[in-house]
Structure 1
């Protein structure tokens, strides 16, 4: 191992979603990335066990993406997002719509998953209003859900730490379904648990409490990612869809993590065979190289809002971003989708599923592991906490993984993994082996 590089002045940067005090005592500084690996300031080569932050399924520094960005910069670096758009943005929307479940054929571009969620919520409200159902304003989220950090997103989200400081800013009229993780019934499940479809019936109770005519939309992640890869029980999503259809409630799938191949299909909706009314996406669409997100919308929702927009010169939906459909992330997205097609990326991800599943579940029985779960090319391990120090165990696992040559994701005392689609089977096996050794090391912390 090489000597550490010159110390970095860290005094000015406020790190997001990071225990800043702990970080400054135990800094982790990355210096470069190539393929499926990061390289840190200690010269260590680290296998990227979570594809950046679920956002780099093609690994890092693919020259085809860089070339597309450079070419677009030389051609047109920016195009106003209002009243006009670049030709490539129109073609990207068409391309994404063709990948989506049938009927979701309109795309509204944003710059992130957080913006995509808030946009979808506004579309839901706008749709019901123009349909003469202005009383439908209530949103239904789910416990332990992560829907970004916009005011709408944290309101429908269900991660307590993300919400408690900002209670006064949350939108009114939000309720939450229970999450579906019950270790007494489904610990160490491989793939979808067989217990728990009945939890979808809680939506009927919420409808009965509030009246369907007050509810605009239900939003959920097909697989809850940020809270630690919570996989829906068999039949659960199908029942949610049936209840929403029955009561005229829009169903939004937040696929910021699960979209573009993570579950071995274009979208989680495809993998589970459940078509929502809207899908939010981000992350993988540009391989994390440059920010972009969006909302896939059912065509008739678009038609209703546009068709009720008044005079034709009037704006029908007062919403958008300066960088919606920006030419440079659009070029990156086209390059990413080109690679998905030419390199058969989704099928490569699907082929790695059993490798990850077998590697993770081989750790069952190790001291300190409370649960192991997986679906698609993603998985998580719940750890026994250090008494009185919530989250410390997982941080120690992260640090032990770095010492052994791999990066993983920490969420409380849960470790999440989601390797790049370009990984080799032996690299996924290495990740699981490192994780097992790191858990052993971290269990020594008292």
Structure 2
């Protein structure tokens, strides 16, 4: 009998015992192609010796030193490397242990910034429906997925949520992509004006929405308009790249493709590639300067922030991404995966939309392609596809509630950056087998 508290008490997952490139192997020897990188985590696959050697070497020297007393060489090196490649204006790195911690830190920093600046009335946060920013109370409050929020509603912070930039569902007939992007962004200005511009501290969004909307990219011009609106009203822009960052969408930072830079940026998942739990909240020199010139103390912290062993892993992962030019490989393999998906699912009667960037791809499933009507949530389509794919030897990331937290189903794909052409074919074949078997 296991004493583990599992994700679901009615499921008994197999025991994973070994990683081999793009595959995970269980105790009975079955190999599973990791078509989602777990949850867009394992960008380097599961057996990268450079990273494991870096971790072992660091443990031999120094496993842990509390940041209340020390900094460490790995933490300093990782911060330097991140800033060397970060969007313009980003200057400081706050290392944490994962994505929820990164977004929580971002929300608290945004609030403290305005307190330090002498504008304590700025306390309102705006985010988007169908976003996901983590599972701590602050991060869950910012997230806009109704299903995840429902039972914790009385505990959550008062956060405003505007409609997402969701072209497949919300663009009008005859409306250009560019016109739709501007219209979608206008929702932010409208909400700022409704709340009162001097009360809003920040707007938080994922450049490409991951878990809750299935690799949903913005319409052209959307984020440039968002940046302009934030600048007009002095609102901080927080970009959550926990899932879509670190090369996943074809640029090291996802926002590069939209031609903008945030004030605060959150990363995790691909930063550690699964080899160690690590994330980071990055901020601009201006925000750091406000804290430095004020109290000097960010009222936040966790025991394992800046963990030397985790930082050594993160540095090894980021070095691999840069020196092996894996981001370019993401572009190449991403195009091939897109072609495979369109070939197999482009005319599928139950596929409404194929979307994404790089090796971050989503498939939105519909019961009626012509009307875009979703399947009845009672059918539990996403969960059944996940199970069928797993039985076929494929790990993928199907989710329900794509449209509003209850209706709609999608499949998220985020394979390792090292995936080969024949494995892309294997992924597509096994996924098609699972989808067709369930539907």
TM-score after normalising by structure 1: 0.89
Q: Structure 1 unaligned runs (5+)?
A: 1-8, 310-314
Q: How does 1:259-298 map to 2 (within 5 A)?
A: 259-298=245-284
Structure 1 residues 185 and 141: alpha-carbon distance in aligned structure 2, compared to 1, 3 A threshold: closer
Which secondary structure does the structure 2 equivalent of 1:20 belong to? Answer: coil
Residues 1:437 and 2:430 aligned together: no
Q: Does 2:9 match 1:20? A: yes
Query: Is 1:85 aligned with 2:71?
Result: yes
Q: How far apart in 2 are the matches of 1:426 and 1:156?
A: 40
2:417 pairs with 1:421: yes
Instruction: Select the residue among 293, 300, 307 that pairs with 1:307.
Output: 293
1:74 is matched with which residue: 60, 65, 78? Answer: 60
Q: Does 1:112 align with 2:98?
A: yes
Within 2, Cα distance between the matches of 1:205 and 1:353?
36
1:75-125 Cα deviation digits (max 9, x unpaired)? 011111113211221121111111101210101111111011010111111
Alpha-carbon distance between aligned partners in 1 of 2:179 and 2:35, rounded to the nearest angstrom: 28
Quickly say closer, same or farther: Cα 1:391–1:280, change in 2 above 3 A.
Answer: farther
1:194 Cα offset (Å) = 7.6
Shift of 1:269: 1.4
Aligned residue among 130, 136, 160 for 1:175: 160
Q: Does 1:374 align with 2:356?
A: yes
1:4 aligned partner: none
Closer, same or farther in 2 for the Cα pair 1:170/1:438, shift >3 Å?
same
Q: What is the DSSP-based 3-state SS (H/G/I as helix, E as strand, rest coil) of the residue aligned with 1:395? A: helix
1:30 aligned onto 2:16: yes
CA contact (8 A) 1:193 1:231 kept: no
Q: 2 CA distance for matches of 1:284 and 1:194?
A: 33
Equivalent positions of 1:127-276 (< 5 A) are: 127-172=113-158, 174-184=159-169, 195-227=180-212, 228-276=214-262
Structure 2: gaps of 5 or more residues: 368-373, 401-408
CA-atom RMSD, angstroms? 2.0
CA deviations 1:327-355 (Å, max 9, x no partner) are 10011112112222332111111111211
Q: Which moved more, 1:399-408 or 1:203-212?
A: 399-408
Cα distance in 1 for partners of 2:66, 2:169 equals 54
Q: Residue 132 of structure 1 aligns to a residue in which SS?
A: coil
- Structure 1 residue 358, shift from structure 2 partner: 1.0
**Distance of aligned partners of 1:361 and 1:185 in 2 relative to their CA distance in 1, 3 Å threshold:** farther
Q: Which residues of 2 match residues 384-395 of structure 1 at below 5 A? A: 384=366, 389-390=377-378, 392-395=380-383
Distance 1:46 1:170 in 2: 38
Mapping for residues 296-335 of structure 1, pairs under 5 Å = 296-309=282-295, 316-335=297-316
Once the two structures are overlaid, the 10-residue window that deviates more, 379-388 or 258-267, is 379-388
* CA deviation after TM superposition for structure 1 residue 29, in Å: 4.2
Instruction: State the alpha-carbon separation in 2 of the partners of residues 322 and 374 from structure 1.
Output: 36
Aligned length: 419
Bigger mean CA offset, 365-374 vs 282-291: 365-374
Q: Is the 8 A contact 1:383 1:394 kept in 2?
A: no
Shift of 1:14: 2.6
Deviation at 1:391, TM superposition (A): 6.3
How far apart are 1:392 and its partner, in Å?
2.3
Partner of 2:384: 396
